[in-house]
Amino acid sequence: MSTVTPQSPLAEEEYVKTLTSDTANLYEVIDGIVVEKKSMGALETALATELAFFLQLFVRENKIGLVVTEMLFTLDENHRLRRRPDTAFVSYARWPEASVPHAESWNVVPDLAVEVVSPSNTAEEIDAKIVDYFAAGVKLLWFIFPDTGRVHVYTSANESRILERSETLTGGEVLQGFELPIEKLFAGLTKPQGS
């Protein structure tokens, strides 16, 4: 990731204007520093899309909120912190407006944030995201490791458990009743025999 340090409060807005011609440039803002975020690879993108599909089916059926991918969220305006999880769930209870705003960043903290870990992600980046998300008020955080099929489930910055590919991912208190066998999540990434 490369960083661009804003020289004034308007620097971030100026930076955003440069992105309009190239939608592949994604970014986050950490302590007022614009950090360009690499686009996910093919496997990571497919995995985030599959998960969003299963989450959205559950969320729509229960009429409890919205599932989004690569949405920029303003987690803490005072500390100029904006994060872009690969997939996220926002309950209707957390929406500050009647609908999603026309804005570069949504000023709401998601209930669930999901990160699909890429080979380029460092342990320091992962740890910083854990701290930032829970300090902002995220209730549940999933880190999905595509190569092993393991999912690290965080319910706080200090409490986590690791699920193997043979286990079932649940929504806990955030998405009560949601269950997804991890093997089913990965199954959609492989072409069926004879196809």
pLDDT digit string (tens) for 83-137? 999 999 999 999 888 889 888 889 999 999 999 999 888 899 999 999 999 999 9
The answer to whether the beta carbons of residues 43 and 119 sit under 8 Å apart is no
Looking at residue 121, what DSSP letter applies?
Answer: -
Say how far apart CA 151 and CA 135 lie, in whole Å. Answer: 21
Query: If we measure between CA atoms, which residue out of 10, 59, 47, 20 comes closest to residue 185?
Result: 47
SS3 180: strand
Count CA atoms within 13 Å of residue 15 on its CB side. Answer: 21
pLDDT of residue 119: 87
> pTM of this prediction?
0.85
Instruction: Give the chain's domains with CATH numbers.
Output: 1-39 (no CATH), 40-187 (3.90.1570.10)
- Residue 4 pLDDT > 60: no
pLDDT in tens, 69-90: 999 999 988 888 899 999 999 9
